[in-house]
Chain A
């Protein structure tokens, strides 16, 4: 065994265990006797046949229900008089349930009388005795005979006799050594179905015994509407099955429903409450689309499930109306809600009926056609609308580079191809409008987080589809005024401007947050003092009736991107570091919801609200200063007294720390900017393992997401996700923002053990990391956050970084020497992390790099350097990770990011002539010893290689020795910087040579020749030289 610590080997450890055990005092002499005295004699087997058996019985009943809710009503016995109802409500759980549901407890006989007198599925509360059980069916076990009327056994019907709810506590089982017989009870009885009663919040109670019946009180109903699914000959029996919706009491033990975390359940019940207010939920059962047929027999095929609720998890809710003081029967109603959906479907005798929400935040939900009618109805106002339709996102059209500042409501490329349609059929052509008979309009979603929309549009099948949405927005946007939109065609600013995404595929969408603080050069970058939650908190106080639709944080000098009228300096916010734009619906009482938009200067009490336009000497100023009652310009969360991160660094390498929520906002596909994040870290349960065999704690692991149980967490709030210490996986989802970070093997991440007693204690940390890591090569790999450095922990303070993480002992160079080599090729970085490892481990950590740079595998040790560099991107400057690799003791450097590493070490030459600045020879072949310039006009007996109709034409000739190869190509004059790639061409065993240059628009009129001479380490046969067949000069 690996020594636990120092010289603690197996022998020492076991000796210590034995010595420790020997110190325990001898067994207390009375212990065995006292234990035996405490044992209850099992005169009734209440304790030894617990709920599991009834669950099995329930399952049997359930399977019966598939073929028909077959049942047993012992009507061939004389009915005894109905059990008189109690004169007062009993105390205990029956009373609670009766009070809660407004039901009067009755006996079995009275329940049967009700069944026979009233052919409806009214909910009743019944007390009786659950019959004893003949025992388990086992191979070689006793033969069981049922003396109760048998049913038409379908193929799924078990031979086990059903339990009965009886009026009297009589044993109906006679047992011998070899057989058991279930007799008819002498009193009234009915057959229950427990399929809907066993919810996770039903505590485990002993319920079926072999020896004697058990007193039971249940809530349920006869005449279940599902009886219509039974075989015709069995429908009467199905009608008489008592469908138990809730178990209230068993053997005198109250079955109190205890709160049990069921993810999604509360949301489903809330969706029902919104759709049908005033109902009392009797039972809520979680099922799956593949199993729902067990509970709703009409769904023989999952494709029968109504689309609004069709999800992997479906909640089935049985509910009744609240008592209104009358004696009118209250029938049970069944509703289905898809996990995370907002639409409720009611199961009626006529089939499923969708209870679509008719309003969104108080606005009536319109169809696309109705919205168009509003737009064209002579109302030029920009009143807020909620519109339901199918969103056809912008197509990937080639667009010219956008100008630095654009009007957010301009229908520019590619958004001109984006539509909200009244039906889910996609548009026929790239930029076509809806064909006749279909309503639709172009919808813009400026500065709205569209991540959920994008995800929904690209399901796992990767087949793009239209997404069903409800958008809240308006036509006739004030920013579309000709003076601001600044385009000749007014229609280019006449789209539907969405202020918020209300729902996606029937699921309520999260409130949009965009935090985009990248400055325009040369402006410095500033970080907000507030989090989105802080902003929400301000409005909670200032304007509690505001339902926020979107929050946007921008640098002040970019405010014109969202409010073009302020681009000239109106209000002066252009000079502020960070400005929040908050748009919401004021849903206060007394009027229809109205849209309100605010600008709040970050960290201050300076706030503005949109106002009727005013014309001032600086133009249109659509805002006015308002007095938001901001309690303090510095929210409490930033106070050192209460902020656990008060001692944490707020800036590292020029990056200011963000909350997890703000980091999540930066999760934009393709954006690999480095982010400094502060949050609460929780490692996976140390006992967790992945079903697929992924090693969670292996010394070298691929940079890939792991199974759910093995995920680490970075939380916005110090939440406990493992409230049940006995569970390996989490049993609740975080309420705040969260990230499941990936910690690569070469990133030191030493935190104190935070797990104790099966539950972890979140640790306050600050980390550096990024999304869109090129090593996470999985579908949606962009969404994973990869940690580059553990910067700070509340336990240890600032975490010291090693000069290098050494994962192999074979390296001979120093980190300083390696960094010098890399920086000579790639320049200096803002921050570097150095590690060295065996190339076989690099193949695990970064397989793509090993494929691209096979020479890295031909050594004993590879140095990997992550470099934090600045890179211009989309008119902005972002700080991100660039990788560099070099073999130990080598000379060449590979580097790059995103699309993959490339050889960074080149052999450079300055050719003569003012039209060529540099030629870099990229020698992938490792055959080239040197390169020198050549006058292109020299007559060396050039011969053409490859096509000559491309942007360049390649010619070769022998140099002054057989080892020299002269290369000449013809490219445009303005292409001053060239790369000449040299590879090995395996078929011909000769060099493959190809020049390339950045294409420069507008210079394709004048071609000139350039030439160099390559010196190889071997003689070159001109017949073996090849080049690219189809590459142009671009």
Chain B
């Protein structure tokens, strides 16, 4: 498995270091600027992991609340972007865990549409197959797949974001892909 080329423009223009420093020192205006600049990327990430708009919204919100709370502890401001993604992944995980305890799950509109399509006998596209397969995976595996395949993060960055050794990132990615393959195969088997 070779190292992948990182896609660009996924996150947006780089945030000025001075803005980060000001936010670390408690400047809420500076942090608000950061929130507005990164909300889209964080929301996209939490959506991709959770597959549920309501959850994604909560997780994105929690991401920035946690970021504001923890920002002063950020030791390497130059790694702010990776750090923010880590916070987002953790927020998604926490949200998922909290949701798992709910008795009634909110059904996102996209899921309703997909279910309606399936009920009508419409062939499912790859996105729908992927959506169904991802839903069966633990959120940790979803996160690493999303970071790699959607965000285009290479292994080294996965390791940084997830705070794990690169070898571990590699094995976790491998395991996640295998689990995804099994889930897709299982799903396709059921469809037949």
Contact = CB atoms under 8 A, between A and B. Distances in A.
Q: Which of A13, A32, A725 has the most CB of B within 10 A?
A: A32
Nearest to B2: A1
A152 interface: no
A238 B68 CA distance: 40
Contacts of B179: 686, 753
Interface of B: 1, 26, 28, 31-32, 35-36, 39-40, 43-44, 47-48, 51, 53, 56-57, 60-61, 64-65, 68-73, 93, 96-97, 100, 109-110, 125-127, 129-131, 138-141, 145-146, 149-150, 167-168, 171-172, 175-182, 184-185, 188
Interface stretch (A4-12, A87-95, A257-265, A958-966): A4-12
B138 A758 contact: yes
A35 B138 contact: no
Given A24-B44, A25-B109, A48-B72, A19 B39 contact: no
Contacts of A687: 140-141, 168, 171-172, 175
Given A13-B130, A687-B140, A755-B138, 12 more contacts: A5-B182, A5-B184, A5-B188, A19-B125, A32-B39, A36-B31, A36-B35, A41-B26, A45-B26, A48-B73, A49-B72, A726-B93
Contacts of B56: 24
Contacts of B100: 757
A394 to B, nearest CB: 47
Contact of A21 (B1, B150, B181): B150
Interface residue tally of chain A, by bracket? 35 or more
A873 interface: no
Nearest to B144: A687
Contacts of A40: 68
B167 A689 contact: yes
A17 B149 contact: yes
A817 interface: no
Contact of A697 (B93, B96, B175): B175
B168 A5 contact: no
Contacts of A47: 69
Contact of A39 (B53, B64, B110, B145): B64
Contact of A27 (B40, B64, B140, B181): B40
A5 B127 CA distance: 15
Contacts of A32: 32, 35-36, 39
A15 B125 CA distance: 11
Contacts of A49: 72-73
Nearest to A695: B171
A757 B131 CA distance: 17
B12 to A, nearest CB: 12
Contacts of B28: 36, 39, 41-42
A1 B185 contact: no
Residue picked from B39, B65, B93, most chain A C-beta under 10 Å: B39
B57 A28 contact: yes
A20 B138 contact: no
Q: Among the interface residues A10, A18, A28, A48, which one has the most CB atoms of the partner chain B within 10 A?
A: A48
A2 interface: yes
A180 to B, nearest CB: 15
- Nearest first, the 10 closest Cβ-Cβ pairs linking A and B are A4-B181, A48-B72, A16-B126, A19-B127, A20-B127, A16-B130, A17-B150, A5-B184, A24-B47, A5-B185
A436 interface: no
A616 interface: no
A326 interface: no
B114 to A, nearest CB: 9
12 contacts: A16-B129, A20-B51, A23-B110, A27-B43, A36-B28, A39-B31, A39-B68, A41-B26, A686-B141, A686-B172, A725-B138, A757-B139
A24 B59 CA distance: 15
A12 B127 CA distance: 10
Contact of B182 (A20, A23, A52, A753): A753
Given A17-B150, A21-B47, A758 B185 contact: no
Given A32-B36, A757-B97, A38 B138 contact: no
B53 A21 contact: no
Nearest to A1: B1
A14 interface: yes
Interface string A740-757: 000000000000010111
B140 to A, nearest CB: 6
Interface string A26-69: 01100110111011111001011110100000000000000000
Contacts of B96: 757
A735 interface: no
Contacts of A755: 138
B181 A8 contact: yes
B176 to A, nearest CB: 8
A812 interface: no
B188 A12 contact: no
A711 to B, nearest CB: 16
Nearest to B64: A35
A250 B175 CA distance: 43
A435 interface: no
Contacts of A23: 110, 127
B150 A19 contact: no
Given A5-B185, A14-B150, A25-B109, A20 B39 contact: no
Nearest to B36: A32
Contacts of B141: 686-687
A12 B150 CA distance: 12
A3 interface: yes
Contacts of A758: 138-140
Interface string A603-621: 0000000000000000000
Nearest to A725: B97
Nearest to A758: B138
Nearest to A210: B72
B4 to A, nearest CB: 8
**Which has the most chain B C-beta neighbours within 10 Å: A27, A50, A758?**
A27
A687 B176 CA distance: 8
A3 B178 CA distance: 9
A726 B93 CA distance: 9
A35 B48 contact: no
Nearest to B185: A5
B132 to A, nearest CB: 10
A52 B73 contact: yes
B184 A689 contact: no
A17 B146 contact: yes
A24 B184 contact: no
Given A13-B149, A42-B26, A24 B32 contact: no
B64 A3 contact: no
B44 A21 contact: yes
A313 B131 CA distance: 47
Nearest to A34: B61
B140 A39 contact: no
A820 B106 CA distance: 62
A4 B180 contact: yes
B109 A12 contact: no
Contact of A48 (B36, B70, B93): B70
A104 B76 CA distance: 46
Contacts of A757: 96-97, 100, 138-139
A751 to B, nearest CB: 12
A38 B69 contact: no
Contacts of B145: 17
Contacts of B167: 689, 693
A16 B35 contact: no
A756 B97 CA distance: 11
B156 to A, nearest CB: 17
A158 B53 CA distance: 50
Contacts of A725: 97, 138
A214 to B, nearest CB: 16
B59 to A, nearest CB: 11
Contact of A19 (B43, B97, B126, B181): B126
Contacts of A52: 73
Contact of B60 (A19, A31, A686): A31
A468 to B, nearest CB: 42
